[in-house]
Amino acid sequence: MRMWKMIPAALIVGLGCLLALGIGANATGATANDQIPEYVGSQACLGCHTDHFTHWSETGHANDLVQLIRAKDFPGDISSAPPELQAELQKAQWLAFGERFLARSPETGQLMYLNVQWDAAAGQYVAYNGGSDFDARCASCHSTAWDASQSAWSEPGVGCEACHGPGREHILGKGDLSKIRSDFNSNTCLQCHTGARHGTNWEVSAHARSTAPVIRNENHEPDPNGVPYRDSCFECHSSDGFVAKLRGEEFSATANHPNNQPVGCAACHDPHGNGNPDQLRQSAEQLCLTCHSAGIPEGGSIPVTGRVGHHLQAEFLWGRGAAGGIKPTEGPHSQVACIECHMVGGDHSTKIAVPTQVAAGAQDSCTKCHTDSTPESRKAYLDTWQRTTGTMIDAAKKDIAVIEQAVAANPNLLDEAQALVFNTAKANLTFIEEDRSMGAHNFEYAMKILNSVSSQLKQVREAIGR
C-alpha cells in the first residue's frame, strides 16, 4: 500500500497560525511534534511569509501539477472533447505542466499518463499516447521531496521546501534561521535544471566564475594593476551583492565570506516570482544592462585621464561615450537586446552562436532577423568587422609605443595640448578594447573612433618628429 507523506493542509495552516500568534513549540506538545512530518508543505509557510507565498503561487513551480477536483480546474470544457477523450478525462486526477493528465493506476498505485492531452495553442483536447509512468521518470523533479522508496511526494510541484529543505524545525523554532536553508548557490536549482540550455551551459559561462577576478577583495590584497578592490565590485560580480543592490541593502563582501556566489540562477531569476516573464528579476532587456553598462549619461563620455573602466558594452552598442567630442553614432543593432545575439534559444552560456559554426539546422546569433542571408555571408560580415578593427587597434598600439618611448626619454616632450590629444586617443582605444566585441557591437562607431585615434596619434608623432 502506498504511503502518503501529505498531511491535512488544515493542520499545517493551523500550526503556522498558532506559531505566528506566538504560541511556541511547547504548546503543541511532544506527541504533536512527532506527528508533524519533516516536510510540512508550502501552505505552512503562508502565515508568516505571506508575500513569498503569494508570489510563488503564481509561478510555474507552484502550478506544475494541479489537482483536478472541479470542472473549472480543467484547462477547457470537457464536453467539447471527442467522446473517447472525455472518458479519459473523467479518470484524470492531476493536470501536469498544463498539458497532460495523470491518474493513479488501480493495479500498481503509480501515477500514469492518460491518453489525452490539452493543446493550448489550438485550445482543444487531442489524443496522446499515454501509459508511461510519471512516478519513476518525472516525479523527482516535478514534485517536492520525492521519496522513490515510498513513491510519495510531500507536495505536488516545486514547493518552498524543494529549495529551502524541510521546514518543520524552522517553524517549531518560530522562524529559527539556523533550521532553514537559504543561499544563492546555484546547486539548489541545478538539482532539477539539469538540461543543457540552462544548467550545463550556465556552468561553462563566464557568469559561473565571476567572483574569481574580485575575490581578492575579501583579503584586501592590492590589485597588481593598482585597481582598488572594494565591496562595490560584488554588485556585479556576485549574486549576493547584486541582489543586495537591487533591494537597496548594505553589502559587505568580507562579512558575507565565504558565501559570495558568482552570477547564478537566483541573481537573474527571482526564485519566488514577481510577475516578470521567466521569473526574471528585471525585464530581459534591462537585466543585462544593469551590469554591462557603465552608466555614462547621454552627452557624457569616458574620462580622458584615469581609469576608463570596464563593462561598457551597452554604451558601445548604443554608440556613445567616446571622449574628444566624437559624434554619437547608432549602428544597425543599437536597438537590439543583448539576449537576441547572446542567448539564442535560451542558451545560458551567453556565447555567440557564430554563423557557419553551429550544428546543421540550428539557429545562429543572426538567423532570427536575417533570414534572407546565408551563414557564409553573415560570417563574412563578422570577420570583416573584427579583422578591420583588430588591424587598426594594432596600428594604433604601435604609434602609442613609439610616442611613449620618446616621452620616457624626455618627460617634458609633449606640451599640454599634445598631451590631451595623446591621452584622448589612448582612452578611446581602451574604450574599444574594453567593449571586447572587436567592433562587432557597432562597427560604424568603432571605425569613427579608430579613424579619430589614428589621426590624433599621427598628429602627435608629426609634432614630436617621430
For 123, other C-beta atoms within 10 Å of its C-beta total: 11
For 56, other C-beta atoms within 10 Å of its C-beta total: 24
Return d(Cα 293, Cα 338) in angstroms, integer. Answer: 11
| Among the listed residues 35, 187, 194, 305, the single contact to ligand HEC using CB under 6 A | 194
Question: From the CB of 190, what's the least distance to ligand HEC, in Å?
Answer: 6
CA 325 distance to own-chain centroid: 36
Taking Cα atoms as reference points, which of 144, 169, 139, 156 lies closest to residue 63?
156
Question: From the CB of 362, what's the least distance to ligand HEC, in Å?
Answer: 14
Size of the site for ligand HEC (CB under 6 A): 120
Q: Which of the ranges 164-172, 297-305, 403-411, 416-424 carries the binding residues for ligand HEC, by CB under 6 A?
A: 164-172
Question: From the CB of 274, what's the least distance to ligand HEC, in Å?
Answer: 10
- Tell me the CA distances in angstroms from 380 to 205, 354, 365, 374, 440, one per residue in order: 26, 11, 14, 10, 12
Give the count of alpha carbons within 13 A of 93, CB side only: 12
Question: From the CB of 421, what's the least distance to ligand HEC, in Å?
Answer: 26
**Binding pattern for the stretch 351-390 against ligand HEC, x by CB under 6 A and - elsewhere:** xx------------xx-xxx-------x--xx--------
What residues numbered 10-49 form the site for ligand HEC, per CB under 6 A?
Answer: 16, 19-20, 40, 42, 44-45, 47-49
How many helices and strands, by DSSP H and E, does the chain display?
A: 21, 7
What residues numbered 223-282 form the site for ligand HEC, per CB under 6 A?
Answer: 227, 229-230, 232-233, 235-237, 242-243, 263-269, 271-272, 278-280
Residue 290 vs 456, nearer CB to ligand HEC: 290
Could you identify the residue written with the cell 523527482? 140
| Among the listed residues 441, 445, 449, 456, the single contact to ligand HEC using CB under 6 A | 441
**Cβ atoms 323, 453 nearer than 8 A:** no
Residue 117 vs 456, nearer CB to ligand HEC: 117
Question: From the CB of 89, what's the least distance to ligand HEC, in Å?
Answer: 18
Residue 306 DSSP label? S
In 3-state terms, the chain is what percent helix, strand and coil (to 5)?
45, 5, 45
Give the bridge partners for 269, in sequence order. 280
Quick check: 184 binds ligand HEC (CB under 6 A)?
Answer: yes
Quick check: 137 binds ligand HEC (CB under 6 A)?
Answer: yes
Residue 163 vs 446, nearer CB to ligand HEC: 163
Question: From the CB of 244, what's the least distance to ligand HEC, in Å?
Answer: 9
**Cβ atoms 321, 331 nearer than 8 A:** no
Q: Which of the ranges 184-192, 251-259, 393-401, 403-411 carries the binding residues for ligand HEC, by CB under 6 A?
A: 184-192
* Alpha helix ranges (H) inside 262-337: 265-268, 284-292, 313-318
* Alpha helix ranges (H) inside 345-442: 375-409, 416-435
Peptide bond between residue 258 and the one before it cis (omega within 30 degrees of 0): yes
Quick check: 426 binds ligand HEC (CB under 6 A)?
Answer: no
What residues numbered 314-343 form the site for ligand HEC, per CB under 6 A?
Answer: 314, 317, 332-333, 336, 338-343
**Binding pattern for the stretch 49-88 against ligand HEC, x by CB under 6 A and - elsewhere:** x--xx--x---xx--x------------------------
